[in-house]
A = this chain, B = another copy of it.
Amino acid sequence: MTVSKAGSGGPSVAVTADIVVLTIQSAQLVVMLVQRANPPYQGRWALPGGFVEPDENLEQAALRELVEETGLEGFPGHLEQLRTYGAPNRDPRMRVISIAHLGLLANLGLPRGGSDASAARFRPVAELLAPDGQAAGTPTPARNAPALAFDHGEILADGVERARAKLEYSPLATAFVEEPFTLAELRRVYEAVWGTSVDTADFRRQALSAEGFVTPFPPAAGRGTEGGQPADLYRRGPARLLHPAMLRPAR
């Protein structure tokens, strides 16, 4: 979130759109952050975001700020609204209402430095959140985990929990992989997001029994990985809900 001083005779309340962009790199769940160039929280990492313009809707604002701050164009992933944060003093300068969004993305193009932020990069979520999934808050930041600017630690925690929950009952895991993909790749998405291990046999059975989750990739060709048997290829299916659901362990 980047907030500049209110303009002349400006609004008593500012509306911004922030975005939690998640992807997977090296089997780790990572989030896109930008380093703040100006006070407050100068030098601290924050979520991309900025003011909502008069004639754009909230999702457009989130995507525009993402491009401006990180250079991440196009966004061939999944985007949804997360939650709105509006505590009176969440920004020390003025009242700021922030509509947070959640973006899920396959790991393809990496961010290059944008115009508004001095740096933009992906960072592992595990280094930013406490083990129990709570935000690395001011009281006890996780070891070597710098707390995020503003209430962005809380927003990140909410976004990660939303992603973890939606992997259970929606086909959103496929937003993290490029087509075509193997079931092993899809299974590694679940393992990275949930932070657990998933049995390969059970995952296969559940993924294929959930109608419309994935569909076989026409050539039925396989893709070898590292000396093993080539895996079948799949594409995203038409389902919007998973039946039956893929439940997280340890409930």
State the A residues within 8 Å of B (CB).
Answer: 9, 11-13, 15, 52, 54-58, 81, 83-84, 86-88, 95, 97, 99, 241, 243, 251
Q: Which B residues are CB-close (under 8 A) to A55? A: 88
Contact among B11, B97, B99 with A12 in the assembled complex (CB-CB below 8 Å): B11
A11-B11, A15-B15, A54-B95 given; 20 more Cβ-contact pairs under 8 Å: A9-B9, A11-B12, A12-B54, A13-B54, A15-B86, A52-B97, A54-B88, A55-B88, A56-B88, A57-B86, A57-B87, A58-B84, A58-B86, A58-B97, A81-B83, A84-B84, A84-B99, A86-B99, A97-B97, A243-B251
In contact, B57 and A88 (Cβ under 8 angstroms): yes
User: Chain A binding site: helix, strand, loop or mixed by DSSP?
Assistant: loop
How far apart sit A241 and B11, CA to CA, in the bound complex (Å)? 41
A86 to B, closest residue via Cβ: B58
- Residues of B near A88 (CB, < 8 A) are 54-57
- A84 partner residues in chain B, CB cutoff 8 A: 58, 81, 84, 99
Chain B residue, CB-CB nearest to A100:
B84
Q: Which of A9, A81, A86, A87 has the most CB of B within 10 A?
A: A86
Residue picked from A54, A57, A84, A87, most chain B C-beta under 10 Å: A84
Copies of this chain assembled into the complex: 2
Q: Within the complex, what minimum Cβ distance (angstroms) separates A37 from chain B?
A: 25
- B residues within 8 A CB of A58? 84, 86, 97
Contact residues in B for A11 (Cβ distance below 8 Å): 11-13
Write the chain B residue with the least CB distance to A14: B13
A64 CA to B74 CA, complexed, in Å: 42
Can you report 22 residue pairs joining A to B where beta carbons are below 8 Å apart? A9-B9, A11-B11, A12-B54, A13-B13, A13-B15, A13-B52, A15-B15, A15-B86, A15-B97, A52-B86, A52-B97, A54-B88, A54-B95, A58-B84, A58-B86, A81-B83, A84-B99, A86-B99, A97-B97, A97-B99, A241-B251, A243-B251
Tell me, rounded to whole Å, the shortest Cβ–Cβ distance linking A17 to chain B.
9
A86 to B52, alpha carbons, bound, how many Å?
10
Give the complex CA separation of A11 and B12 in angstroms: 6
CA distance A83 to B9 in the complex (A): 29
Q: How far is the CB of A49 from chain B (nearest CB, A)?
A: 14
